[in-house]
Structures are given as structure tokens and as C-alpha cells.
Amino acid sequence: MRIQSSHALEARGLDAYFSPPEAVWSLIAIEKQHLPEYIWEPAAGDGAIVKPLIEAGHQVTATDLVDYGLDNCTSGVDYLKAEPRPGIGGIVTNPPYRLAMRFAEKALAEAPYLALLLRTNFLESTKRLPFFRRHPPARIWISSRRLPMMHRHGWQGPRAPSNTCFAWFIWDDKAEQKQHLDWFDWRDHSRTPETLDLFADAAD
Ligand SMILES: C[S@@+](CC[C@H](N)C(=O)[O-])C[C@H]1O[C@@H](n2cnc3c(N)ncnc32)[C@H](O)[C@@H]1O
């Protein structure tokens, strides 16, 4: 299914708002020691996570329910029904938020490493408490500075800071200690000077 109208995406509840590259460059830097070589991005969208990971030397399998025109991405794959991929070292994605816990439960059953870009309020709610008791993240990296806004496929408008707080949630079988909390500032890892200027005042 190839969808080009943003209204069609919204109507389908696909949460097709794509990660800013600044979030992914940050992940690559802060999780450098831990990111596995072979990664599956199971809700790949237009490749916002896939492309920087490949540029950083990772081997990435990309799938999504929808075809956004990303090269080498297999569309029509509902992650919640997908067979596990033997040999992958980890799963990295920004999942549709309303399915985030189901994505996490499934991913944790089939991969030793999981990184999810999620709103920090994913930490809350009594609904998720049993999940966190069963699966404490190894590391949570809070984005101290608001990330650039996530936009729909094909957005050509101006960039602005998000009004939502995000964090990278990491589950890692190799981690001896769990629930390590830390912070990052994406400006430390940005590769675009013009973005630094644009967000000069966006401290919070
Ligand atoms: C918030 S967007 C993020 C896309 C990409 N991961 C990124 O970081 O830019 C969520 C993505 O999940 C996809 N999606 C929604 N439901 C899905 C499902 N059941 N299985 C696989 N992908 C799904 C949407 O098509 C969309 O591309």
C-alpha cells in the first residue's frame, strides 16, 4: 500500500510522523558502545532512522506497514504479526505511539537489544506499570533539549522545536545494571549547522 496523502495517513491512525535526524545522530553517539551491527527497523517510515544507521555502518533491515518510497524497505509488513528475523542483533524504531507497548513486548521476546524513541510520558500510567516491572529498561536517555518537531511524510515547511519531551528507551540483555538514567543534548551530535542556528533559543 503506497500512501501519499497525509490525511489518509491520519485517518488510518498510523502515526506517520517521522523522527528528526538529530535524534538518530544522538542515539548513534550515546549508544555507540552498544548498538548492534545488524538492526531491524520494523516501522521504518521514510527512513529517518534507517538512513543514519546505514551511514554509520550498520546493516539495517527496513519494513513498514506502508510504502513511503524508502529504498529497500519491505512494505505491507505488520510488525505485530511479523515473524522474528533470525540473526538480528537488535531492533531500533520510533513506533506508532498507540502500539508502542505491544511493539516493545514483541521486540523484547525476539531481540537482545531494543531502542525505542518515545515520549517521556511513556514512563507513566498504571497500564504500563506491569510491563516496566517485567521489563525494566537498561538505559533511558532523556532529550534535555526539545527535539525538532516530527513531521509527516513529504513535509516541506519550516522546522520548529517539538512541544513534547522525548527519550530513547533502551533494553539491553547485556546490561548488568538496569534503569540507568542519563541525558543528552542533540546539539552535541547535530551535523547541520543551520539547525543549530535555528534552534539557538530552544533550550527547553
Ligand atoms: C511515528 S512513525 C515513525 C517512522 C520511523 N520509525 C521514524 O522514526 O521516522 C510510525 C510508523 O509506524 C508505521 N506503522 C504503523 N503501524 C504499524 C504496524 N502495525 N507495523 C509496522 N509499521 C507500522 C507507520 O506507517 C509509520 O511509518
Which own/partner contact pairs does 65-71 have at CB distance under 8 Å and 24+ positions apart? 65/1, 65/14, 66/1, 66/2, 66/3, 66/9, 66/14, 66/16, 67/1, 67/2, 67/3, 68/2, 68/3, 68/16, 68/153, 69/2, 70/44, 70/45, 70/46, 71/47
pLDDT digits (tens, 9 = 90+) for 71-121: 999 999 999 999 999 999 999 999 999 999 999 999 999 999 999 999 999
Look over the chain and give the mean of its residue pLDDT values, rounded to a whole number: 91
User: Distance, CA 101 to ligand 1 centroid (Å)?
Assistant: 14
Q: How far is the CA of 17 from the centre of ligand 1 (A)?
A: 8
User: pLDDT category, 200, cuts 50, 70, 90?
Assistant: low
pTM here is 0.92
pLDDT at 11: 41
- pLDDT tens digits, residue range 117-163? 999 999 999 999 999 999 999 999 999 999 998 888 778 888 888 88
CA 65–ligand 1 middle distance (angstroms): 7
61 lines ligand 1 (CB under 6 A): no
The pLDDT, as a whole number, for residue 78 is: 98
3-class DSSP assignment, residue 171: strand
Nearest one of 180, 36, 185, 177 to 115, comparing CA atoms: 36
Which of ligand 1's atoms lies nearest the C-alpha of 117?
A: 8
The letter for the amino acid at 110 is E
The CATH number assigned to the domain with range 27-198 reads 3.40.50.150
